[in-house]
Amino acid sequence: MLACCAANSGCSKPSQSTKAAAPKPEATAGRLLFSEPFDYPKGERLTGKNGGTGFAQAWGSGGFNSDPNAPHVVGDDSLAFKNLATSGRSCKVAVQDRIVGMERSLAHPEEFAKPGSTRYVSVVMRPEGKLGDGPLNGFFGLCLRSKGGELFLGKPGNEAMDKWVMEERGGTAQVATASPVVANQATLLVLKIEYKEGTDRLTLYVNPKPGEAEPTNGTVKDNADLGVTDTVLLYSTGAFSVDELRAGETFQSVLPTTK
């Protein structure tokens, strides 16, 4: 699978030069560093949407070798997962005949990727249609990007193509979970990032239980040097929906519950 890399963002309402409202991380409720609930009108294009918190600008097209005409649209409803609190709607993209991507830069990357810190990123993904449809075996997922490193989290286009994985640019250094990617089923992914001097330590939890303690075991990738993560990217050829993208300082902060 090709990895994520390129920066090309744009927006229509507000204009491309308009910055998103982005409170300092320490002022964000619930110790969240950024959050995107996709709370936009149903059926509209994601390009130019500027909601959520913790971002420097609106969603725009981006990603290595991706088509600039990103087809991402706002879905009908939120992706429900057990008692995870949801709001707004979701984002969905159909199977494509090319690579497509949408990206958004962080307002405070130096706070998110502070050396010595531990951060958590949560996201709900749902494969749509038939798994594997699309070029490069229908991959899809979330990318965390910096000037020095890139991490892809999702359904890959090579090797363990039926499992949730973490991998680096170009599909290298893949670490697969034991958890299968199931068509039309929402899956909650929580990534723990321990930023260290040199090699960082990443732990991926698949379908942890909101409201409970952080699991004691997860899938570990300890050969990545992410650098200062400054951009999030939705990247795919396969069909999927995504929702409730959150990042915070603790496991509990990214998994609010309805109870």
How confident is the model at residue 25, as a pLDDT?
Answer: 40
Question: Residues 84-109: pLDDT tens digits?
Answer: 999 999 999 999 999 999 999 999 99
Distance CA 234, CA 256 (A): 22
Distance CA 94, CA 28 (A): 33
Question: Residues 233-244: pLDDT tens digits?
Answer: 999 999 999 999
Domains detected in the chain: 26-254 (2.60.120.200)
Sign of the Cα pseudo-torsion (141, 64, 11, 34, in order): positive
Mean pLDDT of 173-187: 97
Question: Residues 30-75: pLDDT tens digits?
Answer: 489 999 999 999 999 999 999 999 999 999 999 888 998 899 999 9
How confident is the model at residue 16, as a pLDDT?
Answer: 37
What 52-55 contacts at long range (C-beta under 8 Å, 24+ apart), as own/partner pairs, is 52/20, 52/245, 53/21, 53/22, 53/23, 53/28, 54/22, 54/23, 54/25, 54/28, 54/106, 54/107, 54/108, 54/247, 55/20, 55/22, 55/104, 55/105, 55/106, 55/107
With CA atoms as reference, report the closest residue to 152 among 224, 53, 92, 72.
224
Contact call for residues 241 and 128 (beta carbons, < 8 A): yes
